[in-house]
Amino acid sequence: MPYSVNAGKSWLTQRFLLTEPDRVLDVGAGCGTYALLWRPLRRGHWTAIEGYEPNVKRFGLNRIYDEVHVCDAREMVLDSDHYDLAIFGDVLEHMGLDEADSLLQHARNHSRNVCVSIPIGEHPQGAVGGNELERHVHSWTLDDLKRLDPTDWHQDNFIATAWWVQGG
């Protein structure tokens, strides 16, 4: 679904405030949850990657973000842009573990900080509202997340959150 639950948000918000990012990349923006939550705290320049074009109009993403790019996150290419923060909020469960690892590594090469929010355990989901990208492909475990070597991580109910700091 293009929405997320509140679990883990306060832990991530504390790190967001410490980071004070000026350039933010929100991968799998959905309804714009993180921009709506954090932009009032820190304006900066926000870029959205959204894989399902109808969500751009449905949620008014062009009003929430400075830039919106419609593409499958697994195909995004971050050449020269360097971000202060890349957000993966409830997106990595929609791809295989190797794809998620590769995508995170790509983002870590182009961002000082990367944060993830992801459901832990079995949470089957098919396409939602015609959006095939909403299918849950991999059921994450804490071990899956820890193997990706985050700088810090937290679990709140069935949501795990993690933060990577470049060089951290």
- Each residue of 126-150: pLDDT tens digit? 555 665 555 556 677 888 888 888 9
Q: What is the pLDDT of residues 84-118, one digit of tens each?
A: 999 998 888 778 888 888 888 888 888 999 999 88
Q: What are the counts of helices (DSSP H) followed by strands (DSSP E) for the chain?
A: 6, 7
Contact criterion met (CB below 8 Å) for 23 and 84? yes
% of the chain surpassing 90 pLDDT? 38
Residue 73: DSSP 8-state:
G
Contacts of 29 (CB under 8 A, 6+ apart): 35, 48, 49, 50, 55, 61, 64, 65, 68
Helices (H), 7-96: 9-19, 33-38, 54-58, 61-64
Domains of the chain: 13-165 (3.40.50.150)
pLDDT at site 37 = 94
